[in-house]
Chains A and B, each alone.
Chain A
Amino acid sequence: MHKDEYLHQLTHALNNIPEHERTEILADYEEHFIMGLADNRTEEEIAKALGDPRTIGREYAAISLIKRAEENPSAGGMSRAVTATVGLGIFNLLVVFIPFCILLFLIALVLVIGFSLACSGPFFVGYSVLELAGIVNIGLPVPPHAGVFFGIGLTSSGLLLMVLDFVLVRVLYRLGIRYLKWNIAVISGRETI
């Protein structure tokens, strides 16, 4: 593959990343060709040594999305970064996509449990108060005085779980970004990205 064709394919593969990053990457690869030619190597040899431009494009696109997700944290940004990383190889389905889905499930599960507890508390307090007042006769499993406190405890522990889930999301987000960077570094053979 000649230099022009190589750079054309690379440009096409880098279509989804910001203009300034694309220009920088293309300049780097052009420089590789210039230096290679100065060493009396042919354009075909240099292109072969540099690797498949489409694969390189996908890697840079994933790196760009990860950086954007890191700078502007959002669920959408993280999802795009994960999707781009998964696209780098079938093996990433196992080591990136499945763990990502499991973590999402766990986060949602903790949130649902916390929300349920937080909602059940007021009911418990309400029924306890109504039973204390002699308005209803519902057969609480504990004395109604205790039921009031258990209800408050349920609500506050539910809220606590939801807050802790929020903290967990922040921690997992940071760890996830680091893991994606490490994953791409391993795949591309770079030390860091």
Chain B
Amino acid sequence: MTLPTWVPSLREVIIWLFIISMVSFAIGGVITVMDGGKYKGNVTTLTVPILIPGTSISHSQVSLILEQGVLNISAGSGDTLINGTIKSKNAIIGPVNTYSTNNQTGILKIRQESTEFFDPREIEDTWDLTLHPDIPVDLSIECNAGELNINPGSCNLTSLFITCGTGDVFINLSAWNGSHLPASISLGIGSISVLVPEDASIAADTKTGVGSRTIEGLTGSEGVYFYTGSNSESSVISLSITQGVGDLTLKRDIQ
């Protein structure tokens, strides 16, 4: 079967597609360079203050759901359960908060703005939050991609549950002085660093895929490490770490 003369040959198709690609990218590149970075793409940065009162509750459950960005958690000093700011790049409405109380338990959920459908905006948040120093907190963090810096100081953290797809997780529990803290960290790709108090009893069960493992101040092998505190009233931390690819560092805060 012979093709009509107006049908281009394979060689002509390749040449034309190549020329169109090169010319288009070149024109686009020239326009971008001439613009000189002045175009900000209507990028908006939304800053939302977060202030959840800590009065009339004796316990709290805090759930933070971050699609992409940086989360910094530290110890607060005021009378608020959660205090801080959330900066959202390319967001329209910012994070969505729901807060309710039930039997003196405050239940807080903060979720980054997102859509169920394809969204070309790259929403990226920076969450700087502080926790109430005394109210017991069950803290749950979910993150798709980002950097988590959890430094609760001496806050009354009663449980910690972290799941993250990609990113780095740094947890500093060196100043934590509660009675028992069950902590679970699950990370797909990225590094995990956990710093635990010097004198707390530690039981760590780690399952890691590819990457190095640095354990300091604990004994054990094959993913199970422990340390027994100097007295029976020492704080107890039960750590469960699951990591796909990345380096794991687990250290006691030895002075």
Report chain A residues within 8 Å CB of B217: none
Report chain A residues within 8 Å CB of B21: 153, 156-157, 160
The minimal Cβ–Cβ distance linking A116 to chain B, given in whole angstroms, is 13
Report chain B residues within 8 Å CB of A131: 42
Scoring A residues 139 to 183 as 1 if CB is less than 8 Å from chain B, else 0, what string do you get? Answer: 111110111111011001101100110110000000000000000
How many residue pairs link A and B with beta carbons under 8 A? The number is 76
Q: Once bound together, how far apart are the Cα atoms of A138 and B29, in whole Å?
A: 20
Q: Is the CB of A143 within 8 A of B14?
A: no
Contact of B99 with A by CB under 8 A = no
Q: Is the CB of A163 within 8 A of B43?
A: no
Q: Once bound together, how far apart are the Cα atoms of A156 and B122, in whole Å?
A: 25
Q: Is the CB of A160 within 8 A of B122?
A: no
With A143-B32, A163-B17 given, is the CB distance from A152 to B24 under 8 Å? yes
The minimal Cβ–Cβ distance linking B28 to chain A, given in whole angstroms, is 4
Q: Is the CB of A143 within 8 A of B42?
A: no
Q: Is the CB of B42 within 8 A of A153?
A: no
The size bracket of the interface on B is: 20 to 34
- B40 to chain A: closest residue by CB: A139
Q: Is the CB of B24 within 8 A of A153?
A: yes
Q: Once bound together, how far apart are the Cα atoms of A150 and B18, in whole Å?
A: 14
Report chain B residues within 8 Å CB of A149: 24-25, 27-28, 31
Report chain A residues within 8 Å CB of B22: 153
With A157-B21, A160-B14, A160-B18 given, is the CB distance from A145 to B43 under 8 Å? no
Scoring B residues 95 to 138 as 1 if CB is less than 8 Å from chain A, else 0, what string do you get? Answer: 00000000000000000000000001110000000000000000
The minimal Cβ–Cβ distance linking A139 to chain B, given in whole angstroms, is 4
Contact of A74 with B by CB under 8 A = no
Q: Is the CB of B17 within 8 A of A153?
A: no
Report chain B residues within 8 Å CB of A138: 42, 90, 120-121
Q: Is the CB of A139 within 8 A of B41?
A: yes
Q: Once bound together, how far apart are the Cα atoms of A171 and B20, in whole Å?
A: 25
Q: Is the CB of B43 within 8 A of A139?
A: yes
Report chain A residues within 8 Å CB of B32: 142-143, 146
Report chain B residues within 8 Å CB of A143: 31-32, 35, 39, 41
Contact of B7 with A by CB under 8 A = no
The minimal Cβ–Cβ distance linking B113 to chain A, given in whole angstroms, is 13
With A139-B121, A140-B41, A167-B10 given, is the CB distance from A153 to B25 under 8 Å? yes
- B20 to chain A: closest residue by CB: A156
Q: Is the CB of B18 within 8 A of A123?
A: no
Q: Once bound together, how far apart are the Cα atoms of A156 and B24, in whole Å?
A: 9
Q: Is the CB of B14 within 8 A of A139?
A: no
Contact of A23 with B by CB under 8 A = no
The one of A142, A150, A163 that contacts B10, using a Cβ cutoff of 8 Å: A163
With A139-B121, A143-B32, A160-B14 given, is the CB distance from A152 to B41 under 8 Å? no
The minimal Cβ–Cβ distance linking B247 to chain A, given in whole angstroms, is 29
The one of A141, A147, A153, A164 that contacts B14, using a Cβ cutoff of 8 Å: A164
List residues 7-58 of chain B with CB under 8 A from any CB of chain A.
10, 13-14, 17-18, 20-22, 24-25, 27-29, 31-32, 35, 39, 41-44
Q: Is the CB of B90 within 8 A of A139?
A: yes
Contact of A60 with B by CB under 8 A = no
Contact of A6 with B by CB under 8 A = no
B residues apposed to A, CB below 8 Å = 10, 13-14, 17-18, 20-22, 24-25, 27-29, 31-32, 35, 39, 41-44, 90, 120-122
Q: A143-B31, A143-B35 are in contact. List 18 more A-B contacts (CB 8 A).
A: A137-B44, A140-B120, A142-B39, A143-B32, A145-B31, A146-B27, A149-B25, A149-B27, A150-B25, A152-B20, A152-B24, A153-B24, A153-B25, A156-B17, A157-B25, A160-B14, A160-B18, A167-B10
- List 27 contacting pairs A-B, 8 Å CB cutoff, sorted by A: A138-B42, A138-B90, A138-B120, A139-B44, A139-B122, A140-B42, A141-B41, A142-B28, A142-B41, A143-B31, A143-B32, A146-B29, A146-B31, A146-B35, A149-B28, A149-B31, A150-B24, A152-B20, A152-B24, A156-B17, A156-B20, A156-B21, A157-B17, A160-B18, A163-B10, A167-B10, A167-B14
